[in-house]
Amino acid sequence: MEKRGFEPEDIELLRKAADPQVSADGQKVVFNVVDPRLKENRYASTIWLYQPYLIDRPLRQLLEGENLSLARWSPDSKSVAFVESEGKVSNVFIYPADGFGERIKVASFAGKITELVWSANSKNLAFVARETDPLQYGTQENPLDDKAMPARKVTELRYRLNGVGWTFDRPSKIFLIDLKKGGRVSTLVEGSYDASGISFSPDGSKICFVSARHEGRDIDLCNDVWIFSLIDGVLTRLTTTDRAFALPSWSFDGERIACFYNPTPASSPRHLQVAVIDVDTGLVKTLSSELDRNCSPFGSSRPPLWRGDTLIFGVEDHGNISLYQVSAVSDEPPQLLLGGNRWISDWTASKDALYFISTSSVTLEELHMAEFQVTDSGLLEVSSESKITDFTADLLGEIDLVVPQEFYARSKDGTEVQCWAMPPKGAVPGERYPVVLNVHGGPFTQYGNHLFDEFQLQSARGFGVLYCNPRGSLGYSEAWGRSIRWPECEEDPGSGWGGVDFEDVMACVEHALENFSWVDKDRLGVAGGSYGGYMTSWVIGHSSIFKAACSERACNNLLTMEHSADIAGFIKSYVGVSYLDDPSLYLRNSPVSYIKEIETPLLIVHSEEDLRCPINQAEELFVGLKLLGRSVEMVRFPGENHELSRSGSPKHRVERAKLFLGWFEDRLNQDKQTL
């Protein structure tokens, strides 16, 4: 029987393994499994256990419950700490690793816990959460509504965060659970400064983290690595406040801390580099500069992983995320450890095996194992790989997924651009089909070899799919990413947004028109979200070849976005000049400045609670086009933020998918042509 194509309701089948953690004895691995629940309109998260050396039932769900996360092994491998969420409350439990016995609640916190770490001596657990001022917000038992709250006094440039809300009066702090004193919870470091990336020293006496605690931190965007002594309470700054550090990880000997850093956080974009810091001297040694690739994948929360003197980290390269390794003590360049056409998102390691989450263009995020040997140089050499979970089997049991075809298009100036094409599912030779060009967000992100439900939805509904990584994307040289900085930049001037990136996405379409017989040149659509929404709005203001467009969560007016988004100053990092000094540079590269040239029917989709690209970005485009009498519709999703299409409520994700498909079906599925 012929399998069907992917439909909007099939979002419920997108099961995802995540966050593997191996026990210290190497005998067990815990990980999360996240399931969209369409009927209940939520996501369920469960904790699973894999025991590689167990013959009978090596893989099973470890704990009952559906809001479980952050499973972490105790140093003796005998128990697992984890977080269970109940509404706005996070409860921390400890559970016997053998599965026999009661789970013991050791702490409760009124807020979302985002990190959880054991101390090496098992005396403490540390976690990160946002501390809410009861004078501003009330208590959990008696919260204040908006009309009863005191007014907020804002003194910092960045004071809100998409998906989080107010942050300046709710700093993320480190809390300590003293397991020897009945689970007493205390704040590790006082002050109204955000802190994250916690890691205990091997003896459990110190904890390191990153935090910006200096004047001007909201302008220069630098932060530091700090060390706090649990013995005498002394807080020490390890770095020199000239870079933005992230995700520190203590070495086994306690002498070094590995981390990532951005060398110029106020001058975007930059590749994140891998470095080690000498704990005694603060000397920073960069290990990854020869790669010229981003070494902390976009959205990843995985620190560099120590294995002896070797560090393991993820690298974005030409549509893939691979694992690399580098010695922390030699000057040898990083080496590829696990590659291939796939995205590796999370990883952990025992003394002889890597456990990692991997997805491809036609597989879900699955748990894999790679056995390795340690070479004389201390580096790892993989000998075999195996897949542990197979959630994709359930998906493929019902659905036929379309495999993308990679190609390279030649842009206007001769630059080769990596692209992909997917014909409509069941395409008949000799028939032409409508095609949708998709543009990714960022702009410093990448499309690539992972399962993307949006493309499968489009192909299943009879659309050809095109997508590419234009200049400005991740996955290539830093010069590639910085090539769309404004020409007015003193350092690394480029074309600005809407320059060579526009030429690159148009080259993708032109190549498809010349080389794929299933493309109907008279039925082309274009769509994208965030920066992809920007490019969609820009494209239809500079080209008339598209018959329909969908611009989602877009930045349409760079001038107003610069002072209304939660990342104030982000546009300046590309422009190189403040909007206070020359607002014309922002308007020159804004789609709203070319609104009179837009004739293409446009669907604008935006979320009411989007702080990254605020709702006014949709309103400015919509109002202008309506006043011009153009064909435009605006759809606003309540209760959602910038992440609607990726992690919005399951029902809203399905509604949005149907809306998108219906828009293009109504405007492109007409006047079919045949050869």
pLDDT in tens, 494-504: 999 999 999 99
Query: How far is the C-alpha of 280 from the C-alpha of 256, rounded, in Å?
Result: 8
pTM of this prediction? 0.97
Token reading at 379:
């580096």
Tell me the mean pLDDT in the region 264-272: 97
Q: Residue 328's closest CA among 361, 304, 294? A: 304
Length of the chain: 675
Report whether 99 contacts 81 (CB < 8 A): no
3-state secondary structure of 347: strand
484-538 pLDDT, tens digit per residue, is: 999 999 999 999 999 999 999 999 999 999 999 999 999 999 999 999 999 999 9
Q: How far apart are CA 587 and CA 558, in angstroms?
A: 7
Tens of pLDDT, residue by residue over 98-107, are 767 789 999 9
pLDDT at position 121 over 50: yes
Q: How far apart are CA 300 and CA 474, in angstroms?
A: 14
Give the distance, in angstroms, between the CA of residue 174 and the centroid of all CA atoms in the same chain: 23
Distance CA 477, CA 479 (A): 5
Structural domains in the chain (count): 1
Provide the pLDDT for residue 669.
85
What are the C-alpha distances in Å from 75 to residues 15, 78, 106, 202, 453? 30, 8, 17, 10, 39
Check pLDDT > 70 for residue 671. no
Neighbours of 206 (CB within 10 A): 20
Q: At what angle do helices 453-460 and 650-668 cross, to 10 degrees?
A: 40
Residue 314 β-bridge partners: 323
- d(CA 306, CA 339) in angstroms, rounded, equals 19
Spatial strand order in the sheet of 184-187: 113-118, 124-130, 172-178, 184-187
Taking only the tens place, the pLDDT of each residue in 566-612 is 999 999 999 999 999 999 999 999 999 999 999 999 999 999 999 99
Cross-strand pairs, 520: none
Domain that holds residue 478: 402-668
| pLDDT of the residue at 670 | 66
- Let me know if residue 197 belongs to a domain: no
pLDDT at 626 > cutoff 70? yes
User: What would the mean pLDDT of 640-644 be, rounded to a whole number?
Assistant: 98
Do residues 125 and 92 lie in contact, with contact meaning Cβ atoms separated by under 8 Å? Answer: yes
Q: Which of 557, 556, 578 has the alpha carbon at shortest distance from 569? A: 578
What pLDDT was estimated at residue 675? 37
Interior angle at CA 367, CA 366 and CA 373, nearest 5: 135
Backbone φ/ψ region at 629: left (φ over 0), alpha (ψ -120 to 50), beta:
left
Residue 347 belongs to some domain of the structure: no
CA 407 distance to own-chain centroid: 25
Q: List Cα–Cα distances, 630 to 538, 603, 656, in angstroms.
A: 16, 11, 23
Burial class, 35, CB count within 10 angstroms (exposed 0-12 / middle 13-18 / buried 19+): middle
User: Beta strands 519-529 and 433-439: pairing type?
Assistant: parallel
Asked if residue 32 belongs to a domain, the reply is no
Mean pLDDT, to the nearest integer, of 339-359? 97
Rounded to whole angstroms, how far apart are CA atoms 301 and 19? 10
CA dihedral 422, 435, 452, 534 (to 10 degrees): 140
CATH number, domain of 615, equals 3.40.50.1820
User: Radius of gyration over alpha carbons of the chain, in Å?
Assistant: 25
Q: Which amino acid is at 113?
A: I
The count of other CB atoms within 10 Å of the CB of residue 82 is 23
Distance from C-alpha of 339 to C-alpha of 613, rounded to nearest angstrom = 34
Residue 167 neighbours by CB distance under 10 Å: 16
Side chain identity at residue 413, one-letter code: D
The more confident residue out of 396 and 670 is 396
Distance, in Å, from the CA atom of 425 to the CA atom of 367, rounded to the nearest integer, reads 28
Domain assignment present for residue 598? The answer is: yes
Q: How far is CA 71 from CA 21, 93, 116, 360, 569, in A?
A: 7, 10, 8, 25, 36
504 by DSSP, 3-state: which? helix
CA–CA separation, 660 and 154 (whole Å): 38
Query: Scanning the structure block, which residue is given the tokens 């809306």?
Result: 659
Q: Which residue is it, tokens 């995205």?
A: 343
Q: Round to whole Å and give the CA distance between 249 and 259.
A: 6
User: Could you read off the pLDDT of 219-234 as tens digits, one per residue?
Assistant: 999 999 999 999 999 9
What is the average per-residue pLDDT within 24-32? 96
For the stretch 458-470, pLDDT in tens is 999 999 999 999 9
What is the Cβ-side half-sphere exposure of residue 56, based on CA atoms within 13 angstroms? 0
CB 305 within 8 A of CB 349: yes
Q: Determine, yes or no, domain membership for 489.
A: yes
Q: In degrees to the nearest 10, what's the CA dihedral of 501, 502, 506, 507?
A: -30
DSSP, collapsed to helix, strand or coil, labels residue 386 as strand
Strands in 29-87 per DSSP E? 29-37, 42-50, 59-61, 68-73, 79-86
In a domain? residue 554? yes
Q: Average pLDDT of 371-399?
A: 95
Burial, 208: exposed, middle or buried (Cβ in 10 Å; 0-12, 13-18, 19+)?
Answer: buried
Q: How far is CA 90 from the centre of its chain?
A: 23
Does residue 242 fall inside a structural domain?
Answer: no
Question: How far is it, in rounded angstroms, from Cα 581 to Cα 155?
Answer: 22
- With cut-offs at 50, 70 and 90, classify the pLDDT of residue 672: low
Average pLDDT score over residue span 271-286: 98
DSSP codes of every residue in 171-221: -EEEEEEEGGGTTEEEESS-SS--EEEEEE-TTSSEEEEEE--STTHHHH-
- Find out whether 121 and 204 touch, Cβ atoms under 8 Å: yes
Residue 290 lies in a domain: no
Q: Assess contact for 407 and 435: CB atoms under 8 A.
A: no
